[in-house]
Amino acid sequence: MNILFLADPLDSFKTYKDSTFAMMREAARRGHQIWACEQDDLVWQHGGKVQALSRQIELTGHADPWFKVRQESVVVVADLDAVVMRKDPPFDAEYLYTTHLLTQAEREGARVFNSPHALREHPEKLAILEFPQFTAPTLVTRNIDAVRAFHATHQDIILKPLDGMGGTGIFRVPADGLNLGSIAETLTRDGTQTIMVQAFLPAIAQGDKRVLVIDGEPVPFALARIPQGGEVRGNLAAGGKGVAQPLSESDWHIARTLGPILAARGLLLVGLDIIGDKLTEINVTSPTCFQEITQQAGFDVAARFVDALEAKISA
C-alpha cells in the first residue's frame, strides 16, 4: 500500500517516542510505501482533485537522519491507498480548513483516518460532554462569574483552554481561590474565549491515564502519566513520568462503552484520558504513547494499529 502521513515537519520528530514514527516504521516493515506531507502541501483547483506535494521516504534505521527522501512529487490524494491524519493541535482555523480539503479528497475516493468529518465533530476537550456519566463535574463557559460560582461550589478546580495540548495553559485553583480572577480573565481573554473548568481530581497523583482505542478495541495497557516535582499536570510534555499499567476495571468499562460508538463514526484511533475513574478528554487528532506502552508492557501498539488500517483498506 501507499500510505500518506499528513503530519508535522519530519525534522521535528523525536523518533525515540513519536507515535507517528512508530506507525511509519511498522508500515514500512510490512513493505508499505511511506509518503509524508504537511498541511500547506494540500491544494485543490477547479476541474481537478485534491493534491499534495509529498515526499516518499525510506526509513534509515538510524536516529539521525532517521529518513531519506526517495522522491518528491505532487500526488492525487485519492490515488493513494490511505491517508493517516496525524497533525498535532492546535485545532485552529487552518486545521479546520485541512479537514475540509480532506473531506473533498474523500468525495474523490480517498480513505482518510481518522475521518476528517469525525475530527471536526469531536474537539478533544468538548467531546466528553456527550458522556457525562463518566466525567467529573465540568463547566464550559467564557463567563467569569460562572467560573467563580463553579469554584465556590467545588472549591478545588482545574481551568484549561479548549485548544491546548501537552498540558499547556492548565491551572489549578484550590479552595483559597488565590488568583482565580486573574487566571479566569487571562484564559478567557476577559470573557471573549470559552474555556473548560473541572473539579480537581486527587487521583491525578496516581497518574493521568492514556487509554488507546483502535477500531473500537481498547489496548490492554494504559500509560499513566504521573506528575513530578510538585506539578499538577501529568502530561509527558510537562515533565510527567509515564508508567505503563494494565487497564483497571473502570478503564475497561469506559473504553468498551465509547470504543464502538467512536469507531462507527470513523475514528480509527482514539486516546481516552482518564484520571481515577473519570474521563477527562477524548483525543482524536494525534493520540500518542505508542512507544512507551510497547517498551514497558511488551504490547506492540503500532502493529495493532497497522493491522486495523490494513483491515479497513482491504474491506
The SS3 assignment for 273 reads strand
CA 32 to chain centre: 24
Assigned architecture for domain 137-200 = 2-Layer Sandwich (3.30)
- Lowest-confidence region among 16-25, 64-73, 167-176, 232-241: 232-241
Distance separating alpha carbons of residues 233 and 192, to the nearest angstrom: 25
Question: Residues 86, 111, 233, 304: which is the catalytic one?
Answer: 233
Strands 2-6 and 33-37: parallel
Mean pLDDT of 155-172: 88
Question: Residues 18, 106, 273, 292: which is the catalytic one?
Answer: 273
Question: Residues 55, 86, 209, 225: which is the catalytic one?
Answer: 225
For residue 273, indicate whether it is catalytic. Answer: yes
Burial of 298 (0-12, 13-18, 19+ CB in 10 A): exposed
- Phi/psi at 272 (nearest 5 deg)? -90, 130
Q: What's the pLDDT tens digit per position in 111-123?
A: 999 999 999 999 9
Name the CATH code of domain 203-314 (choices 3.30.70.260, 3.40.50.2020, 3.20.20.70, 3.30.470.20).
Answer: 3.30.470.20
Q: What's the pLDDT tens digit per position in 46-65?
A: 999 999 999 999 999 998 99
DSSP H/E element including 172: strand 171-173
Buried b (16+ CB within 10 A) or exposed e, 229-260: eebebbbbebebebbbbebeeebeebbeebbe
For residue 120, indicate whether it is catalytic. Answer: no
- 228 vs 106 pLDDT, higher one: 106
The residues of the chain that CATH labels 3.40.50.20 are 2-114
For residue 281, indicate whether it is catalytic. Answer: yes
Per the prediction, the chain carries an average pLDDT of 95
- pLDDT band per the 50, 70, 90 thresholds, residue 234: low
- pLDDT band per the 50, 70, 90 thresholds, residue 315: confident
Q: Is the pLDDT confidence value at 235 over 70?
A: no
Of 204, 245, 195, the residue nearest 223 (C-alpha): 245
- pLDDT band per the 50, 70, 90 thresholds, residue 154: very high
For residue 125, indicate whether it is catalytic. Answer: yes
Name the CATH code of domain 2-114 (choices 3.40.50.1820, 2.170.150.70, 3.90.1150.10, 3.40.50.20).
Answer: 3.40.50.20
All residues at 6 or more sequence positions from 256 whose CB lies less than 8 Å from its CB, including other chains: 218
- pLDDT band per the 50, 70, 90 thresholds, residue 238: low
Give, in order, the Cα–Cα distances in Å from 16 to each of 12, 97, 202, 287, 292. 12, 31, 31, 16, 9
Distance separating alpha carbons of residues 166 and 53, to the nearest angstrom: 29
Are the C-beta atoms of 232 and 204 separated by less than 8 Å?
A: yes
Q: What's the pLDDT tens digit per position in 178-227?
A: 999 999 999 999 999 999 999 999 999 999 999 999 999 999 999 999 98
Instruction: Look up the pTM and report it.
Output: 0.94
pLDDT of residue 42: 98
Q: Is the pLDDT confidence value at 7 over 90?
A: yes
Strands 2-6 and 82-85: parallel
For residue 283, indicate whether it is catalytic. Answer: yes
